[in-house]
Amino acid sequence: MQIDAGRVIADLRELAAASGGEHAGAKRLAWSPDWSAAREWLGGKLAELGDRVTVDRDEAGNLWAQLDGDGSTDGFVVVGSHIDAVPSGGWLDGCLGVMAALEVLRTLAAADAPPPVTVRLVDWADEEGARFGRSLVGSSAVAGTLDPDDVRGLLDAQGTTLQDALASVGVDLDAAAGARSRLDGARAYLELHIEQGPVLLDTGRLASAVSGTFGDERYLIGFTGQSAHAGSTPMHLRRDTLAAAATAALEIREVGIRHGGVTTVGSIASSPGVITAIAGASEMMLDLRHLEAEVLATMLAECRAACEDAARTFDCEVAFRRVFGATPTPFHPELVALARRAVDAAGGGDGPPIPSGPLHDATEIGRLVPTVMIFAQSDPPISHTEVEDSSEEALRVAIEAYGATVGGALELVAAGGLEAAR
């Protein structure tokens, strides 16, 4: 199947112009009015496809659009990604996959005959987790791994709870599990994304099939000591939680280096937060990732030990709250091979599939449904920033490869391949 890369890029630029500007920092924070406006824009694009495409929203806030097949094959193929963005994020992260999926539906809707398999587009809700620290909210609800009690009290920077943010757009956190039925009968999931890193640029490849995603553990770690006057409290008597957290953060960095993974302390917030007082309480945000589950577990144990050691050193207490976890997710080998051939045929260069360090909705869905991703080269090789970019050549290659991979997956399913999710 050939899809029009030029139209995908035009849609991306139109969305960027409506979301702040191509390199002005995307304004599509999940559950916000800006995000809702972007979804309305997407809804307008879907409405242009006519009555062959039906659109609705599930209990977790995910947006779905369906184009029925000819009835000859059971199940359906899912295409999509996410339209939400981090604050001041880039113009391609997530929405590249949504616009490519839109073009898949547009191409199929314009064909003389329906496809052999039903195709569903999905725009996953709150992939980024930028407001509340809990990524993949919509896809994890569909995958059955979202426990409302684990996320109920999460707050954004303004003190809004996650459940209140969901409620503001008509989503009930406690009813989100009802979205699980959306995968019943799914035969494949295919997602296009920018790489967000340097591997493809360093090797000169414009695109690549993706072998799978890293596992991830995400914690809030609270240190409790004693606030006291900065001038009258001797150094050896201080119960300084910021000192404990900072000491732990340096050792956590070594854990990532030692095991060939990545460990990140994204924030340390301390109180009372004044220049003349010792920090009596500090909360650390910890994220760690690795491609192997056993190594990830070892890294987590060592990070916890580093925090406990630092707490003892500074006479503090420490508590751990897990806010997110994802096991490493290898993608379906038959679909990975299909994507690799499509990338090569589109001019992206042949090379081994690369793993993804960043999480994606494919991480959740890939545990239940045969899944593959394709990456477009990032240049510069960074993301979650307004300067995020990819060359038009890389975008065209990746989009064309994605269309061909979707077409190949439809043929594979129509021929009886790939088992449906139950």
Residues 11 and 197: their CA atoms lie apart, in Å, by 24
Is 384 labeled as ligand-binding? yes
63-66's contacts with Cβ under 8 Å and 24+ in sequence apart are: 63/39, 63/122, 63/123, 63/125, 64/120, 64/121, 64/122, 64/182, 65/105, 65/120, 65/121, 66/118, 66/119, 66/120, 66/121
In the CATH hierarchy, which fold is given to the domain comprising 5-214+328-414?
A: Aminopeptidase (3.40.630)
User: Is 254 known to sit in a ligand binding site?
Assistant: no
Three-state secondary-structure class, residue 122: strand
> Is-same-fold flag (5-214+328-414; 215-326)?
no
> How far apart are alpha carbons 99 and 194 in whole angstroms?
13
Instruction: From the options 1.10.15.40, 3.30.70.120, 3.30.450.40, 3.30.70.360, give the CATH code of 215-326.
Output: 3.30.70.360
Q: Where are the domains of the chain?
A: 5-214+328-414, 215-326
Tell me which residue has tokens 């590249």: 96
Half-sphere exposure at residue 128, Cβ-oriented, CA atoms within 13 angstroms: 23
Q: Which residues pair with 209 in a beta bridge?
A: 374
- pLDDT, average across residues 13-34: 93
Judge contact between 43 and 103, C-beta under 8 A: no
Q: Over the stretch 345-389, which tens digit does the pLDDT of each residue have?
A: 999 988 999 999 888 999 999 999 999 999 999 999 999 999 999
Alpha carbon dihedral 238, 242, 244, 246, in 10-degree steps, equals -140
Model confidence over 189-215: pLDDT tens digits? 999 999 999 999 999 999 999 999 999
Interval 59-96: pLDDT, tens: 999 999 999 999 999 999 999 999 999 999 999 999 99
Q: 422 pLDDT exceeds 90?
A: no
Listed residue (342, 376, 338) closest to 9, CA to CA = 376
23 labeled binding residue: no
